[in-house]
Amino acid sequence: MEIFQKAKAVRLRSHLNKYLVADDDQQHTRQSRRGGASKKGRWCVEFVEGSSQLIRLKSCHGRYLMASDVALLLGMTGNRVLLTEQQNVKDLRIEWQPVKDGFQVKLRSYGGTFLRANGGTPPWRNSVTHDSPHTTSTNNWILWDVETVEVPENEILTDSFSNASSFSSISDEFPDLDTNSPVSVQSSFSTK
């Protein structure tokens, strides 16, 4: 797909107008309306060596989008889409084939299922699975709008050398704060 060939990173927006985001636990994915503006909604595009049609999507945590074999709900269709480290170059579970459908894209997994944005009541709400649409009413659940995203050069270098802890909320709330240098804090209630 041409859009993936031109982009270093993308955001994926579902039919529910929510973005695919990497969860803070560095293992799960979900949908979020506000996530598109954050690093958690940005997916770096990597091409699979030897194939111009297969891509890998890498999260802000340095982990890959994976079509797992774990069911979202026991006895229901749809398996979880998780984040994983690349342990094997030939791991087919982290490879996705973009399939153009009008102005949108379907992402086909190794087993022929598609990345699907679920809606409805919990536990379906905001969940992301991979499955085949069984009816025409759920066919649009596998369609994604792809938005290209600019990645600052300093972020590319930082991400490749180390992954910052996603459990630190300070860096998200105060992006200009230098958390690496110690700061002396004096209370306004002190007697000095």
- Domain assignment present for residue 186? The answer is no
Q: Residue 57's domain is classified under what CATH number?
A: 2.80.10.50
- Domain assignment present for residue 128? The answer is yes
- Domain assignment present for residue 140? The answer is yes
**CA atoms of 81 and 83, how far apart (whole Å):** 7
Predicted model pTM: 0.77
The neighbouring-strand residues paired with 98 are: 107
Q: Which residues contact 112 (CB under 8 A, 6 or more apart)?
A: 132
- Domain assignment present for residue 150? The answer is yes
Q: Is 11 helix (H, G, I), strand (E, B) or coil?
A: strand
State mean pLDDT over 172-185.
42
Number of domains in the chain: 1
Average per-residue pLDDT for the chain: 81
Write out the residue range of the structural domain in which residue 42 sits: 2-173
- Domain assignment present for residue 79? The answer is yes
What pLDDT is recorded for position 37? Answer: 82
- pLDDT band for position 74 (cuts 50, 70, 90): low
Distances (CA, A) of 125 to 3, 19, 26, 83, 128: 28, 13, 19, 19, 9
